[in-house]
Amino acid sequence: MSSSSENFRSREFPMTEEDYQFLRQLAGRETGIELSEAKREMVYSRLVRRIRSLGLMDFAGYRHYLEKNKHLELTHFVNAITTNLTSFFREGHHFEALRTTLLPEIIKQNAQRRSLRIWSAGCSTGEEPYSLAMTLQDSGLCKGWDAKILATDVDSNVLAHATAGQYGREKIQGLPQDLQQRHFVRTEREEMVQVDPRISAWVTFRQLNLLHEWPMSGPFDIIFCRNVVIYFSKDTQRQLFDRFASLMAVGGYLCIGHSETLHGITDRFESLGRTIYRKRF
Ligand SMILES: C[S@@+](CC[C@H](N)C(=O)[O-])C[C@H]1O[C@@H](n2cnc3c(N)ncnc32)[C@H](O)[C@@H]1O
């Protein structure tokens, strides 16, 4: 046995090799997230609080509890293993491209039906879809249009935060002053700000596991799925991007995260550079 797994056995709550392999498989099956050997420490620290609060003795006890209370406990488990790092206008070039190229193009393409559908898939605590809404609002291009942003995530905790639309002031500190003033309002708590209701009105939040059935019929004009598939296997990525393509209008745009690529995964999109793609077929 490796010294690292010895290490996990001698902790406050012992986690054996078998426990870790069980949790790895469950995470992969339920969310597509492939936990590598290097994620042992992370899994331990994220689940240990839960094990303590349930009054259990070890990870074997937690496995047993999970199996007996699958439906309820799975939500806690999934919430614990997702990584939710995000920020307003993260990877800013996507929002710049949206304003200067993607939106004007789509507006031209959809001029007849005057409707626009955007999906933020894996929206975490909401900074991404709200940044999309701020870009739409500031562009002034969608006035009088039926324009909507759907924002989804598998994690119920981050969705609750996203729907509330309240953030610590430090989260918006790096944004231009005029943008802060236009799109955020004060709250009763000095240290918090709230997304302006004119911005949140563009966005609908829903819980959705990307591995499950999707209730939406589309077509979407723009999909942002950034920093989500990074831990998915190539096969899961291929299936997901194929499903995205099938739910998009031809000429629709897909933006993915900076360390992700469609190269060698699917040819249903053409690359426009800087992790922006256009649906070919
Ligand atoms: C790192 S965050 C990315 C947030 C945002 N897209 C960004 O780039 O800033 C990844 C999000 O993907 C979500 N996620 C992971 N697996 C998922 C799945 N199978 N279905 C839906 N969301 C998933 C996580 O819960 C997490 O909130």
pLDDT band at 1 (very low <50, low <70, confident <90, very high): very low
pLDDT at residue 12 above 70? Answer: yes
Residue 117 is assigned to a structural domain of this protein: yes
Clarify whether residues 104 and 131 are in a common domain. Answer: yes
Same domain for 54 and 192? no
What is the pLDDT at residue 3? 53
The pLDDT value recorded for residue 9 is: 61
* CATH code of the domain containing 248: 3.40.50.150
Both 176 and 67 in one domain: the answer is no
Query: What is the whole-number distance in angstroms between the Cα of residue 225 and the centre of ligand 1?
Result: 8
Measured in angstroms, how far is the CA atom of residue 83 from the centroid of ligand 1? 7
Q: Is residue 86 part of a domain?
A: no
Q: Is residue 16 part of a domain?
A: yes
From ligand 1's centre to the CA of 193, what distance in Å? 23
Residue 45 has pLDDT above 80, yes or no: yes
For residue 183, pLDDT over 90 is answered with yes
Among 22, 54, 81, where does a domain finish? 81
Pick the more confident residue, 246 or 1. 246
**Which one of 228, 255, 259 would you pick to mutate in the ligand 1 pocket, going by the greatest count of ligand atoms within 8 A of its CB?**
228
- Which residues pair with residue 205 across a beta bridge? 151
In this structure, are 182 and 255 located in the same domain? Answer: yes
Q: Are 272 and 135 in the same domain? A: yes
Percent of the chain with pLDDT over 90: 94
In a domain, 123, yes or no: yes
Residue 31 lies in a domain: yes
Model confidence pLDDT, tens digit, residues 226-249: 999 999 999 999 999 999 999 999
Q: Are residues 136 and 187 in the same domain?
A: yes
If pLDDT is split at 50, 70 and 90, which confidence band does 274 have? very high
Q: Does 54 lie in the same domain as 141?
A: no
- Write out the residue range of the structural domain in which residue 37 sits: 3-81
Return mean pLDDT, the chain: 95
Residue 117 pairs with which residues in a beta bridge?
148
Question: Shortest CA distance to 219 belongs to which of 184, 248, 181?
Answer: 248
Q: Are 232 and 32 a contacting pair, CB within 8 Å?
A: yes
- Is residue 87 a part of any domain in this protein? no
Going by DSSP bridges, is the β-strand pair 115-121/146-153 parallel, antiparallel, or unpaired?
parallel
| Residue 184 within a domain | yes
Evaluate if residue 29 carries a pLDDT over 50: yes
Test site for ligand 1: of 74, 154, 231, 233, most ligand atoms within 8 A of the Cβ: 154
- The number of domains in the chain is 2
136 and 17 within one domain: no
78 Cα to the center of ligand 1, angstroms:
11
pLDDT tens column, 50-90: 999 999 999 999 999 999 999 899 999 999 999 999 999 99
Q: Which parts of the chain are beta strand (E)? A: 115-121, 146-153, 166-168, 184-186, 192-195, 203-207, 220-225, 248-256, 269-271, 276-279
Q: How many CB atoms neighbour CB 100 within 10 A? A: 11
The answer to whether residues 105 and 10 belong to one domain is no
Tell me the catalytic residues: 46, 153
Judgement on whether residues 23 and 73 belong to the same structural domain of the protein:
yes
Residue 34 sits in a domain whose CATH number is 1.10.155.10
Is pLDDT of 7 > 90?
A: no
Is 230 near ligand 1, meaning CB less than 6 Å away?
Answer: no
Q: Are residues 112 and 217 in the same domain?
A: yes
Domain C-terminal end among 52, 81, 110: 81
Atom of ligand 1 nearest to the CA of 211: 19
Could you tell me if 21 and 132 lie in one domain?
A: no
* Closest residue CA from atom 11 of ligand 1: 122
Contact 15, 44 (CB under 8 A): yes
